[in-house]
Amino acid sequence: MSGSLPSLTLILGGARSGKSAFAERLIIGSGRPRRYIATAEAWDDEMRERIAQHRRDRAGDWTTVEAPLDLAAALAAAPAEDAVLIDCATLWLTNHLLAEHDLARETRRLVTALADCRAPVVIVSNETGWGIVPENALARRFRDEQGRLNQRLAAEAGLAVAVIAGLPMVLKGQLP
């Protein structure tokens, strides 16, 4: 994969579908300096290991920015010549949900920041709506909010790709 990226690319998939690796290949293929905006917070040992593995997987010349909540500021600071990877919208949403922030307001801020960003952005997000109906209200709210966020991002994206079992399926636009 090489070529220019649209201003916004959305990569969707389930857990361990290969979506992050695919997104990284898109960024590398752009030939631009690589900027990784991480939204994960290390709340336990298992999450610390996941974060460490992601860092090992993208060894090389990536600039990493930690932005578990304020993606707008991280996007505003991205140089126009970079290609930006946000991994991931799901953890960003989780962070705001658990902090009891206004999710509609935060989503509007994110969409505005994505539109204003001078660099092309690839954002990774989980597709959570294909599973069973969760048994508790918080999990059902999260699933519903994640679905709404994904729809909003897909509407704004020039390219949307679903990754299943490591295989990309273009939903909108064309791969570079």
Q: Residues 54, 118, 148, 152: which is the catalytic one?
A: 54
pLDDT, tens digit (0-9, with 9 covering 90-100), for 129-175: 887 888 999 999 999 999 999 999 999 999 999 999 999 999 999 99
pLDDT, residue 149, reads 98
DSSP 31: T
**Can you say whether the dihedral through the CA atoms of 146, 119, 176, 36 is positive or negative?**
negative
Over range 58-75, report the average pLDDT.
91
pLDDT band at 2 (very low <50, low <70, confident <90, very high): low
Task: Tell whether the model's pLDDT for residue 55 goes beyond 90.
Answer: no
* β-sheet bridge partners, residue 131: none
Full set of structural domains in the chain with CATH = 8-129+162-172 (3.40.50.300)
Q: Phi and psi at residue 63, in whole multiples of 5°?
A: -90, 125
Is 101 an active-site residue?
no
Distance CA 118, CA 155 (A): 19
116-130 tens-digit pLDDT: 999 999 999 999 988
At 110 the three-state DSSP class reads helix
Contacts of 93 (CB under 8 A, 6+ apart): 103, 142, 145, 146, 149
d(CA 25, CA 166): 12
pLDDT in tens, 91-111: 999 999 999 999 999 999 999
pLDDT above 90 coverage of the chain, percent: 80
- Asked if the model's pLDDT at residue 1 lies above 60, the reply is no
The structure's pTM equals 0.93
